[in-house]
Amino acid sequence: MAHLLRHHSFTSTSVWTEARLHHQAYASIKLSNHRQGRWKTNGKRRASGNGCVVQCCTSSSSSAAAKPGVELTGNAEEDNNGRWEEKEEEEPLYLASEYGWKVRRLEEDQPEIKKVAEIQAEAFHQPMAFFDDLFFQFFQAEVLAGLMYKLRNSPPNRYACLVAESPSDANSESKTELVGVVDVTALRDEAVLQHLQGADEYLYVSGLAVSKRFRRRKIGSCLLKACEMLSVLWGFKYLVLRAYEDDLGARTLYANAGYRVVSGDPPWLTSWIGRRRRVLMIKQSNFLNLINSTFQS
pLDDT at 272 exceeding the cut of 90: no
pLDDT at 217 exceeding the cut of 80: yes
Percent of all residues in the chain with a pLDDT value above 90, rounded to a whole number: 49
What pLDDT, on the 0 to 100 scale, is given for residue 129? 79
**Amino acid found at 294:** T
pLDDT at 156 exceeding the cut of 70: yes
Closest CA to 11 of 197, 205, 269: 197
Q: What is the mean pLDDT of residues 122-133?
A: 84
Higher pLDDT, 242 or 90: 242
What pLDDT, on the 0 to 100 scale, is given for residue 219? 97
**Amino acid found at 163:** V
Q: What is the mean pLDDT of residues 114-141?
A: 89
What pLDDT, on the 0 to 100 scale, is given for residue 20? 43
Q: Find the catalytic residue in 159, 202, 204, 254.
A: 254
Is 254 designated active site?
yes
What pLDDT, on the 0 to 100 scale, is given for residue 288? 55
Q: What is the mean pLDDT of residues 56-77?
A: 36
Task: Please state the pTM of the whole predicted model.
Answer: 0.68
Q: What is the mean pLDDT of residues 60-75?
A: 36
Taking only the tens place, the pLDDT of each residue in 16-66 is 444 444 444 333 333 334 334 444 433 433 333 333 333 333 333 333 333
- Is 58:28 a contact under the CB 8 Å cutoff? yes
Kindly tell me the burial class for residue 176, based on how many C-beta atoms sit within 10 Å of its own C-beta (0-12, 13-18, 19 or more). middle
Domains, the chain, ordered by start: 94-167+175-295 (3.40.630.30)
Taking only the tens place, the pLDDT of each residue in 166-184 is 887 544 455 789 999 999 9
Q: What is the mean pLDDT of residues 198-209?
A: 96
What pLDDT, on the 0 to 100 scale, is given for residue 135? 87
**Amino acid found at 14:** S
- Is 64:42 a contact under the CB 8 Å cutoff? no
What pLDDT, on the 0 to 100 scale, is given for residue 248? 94
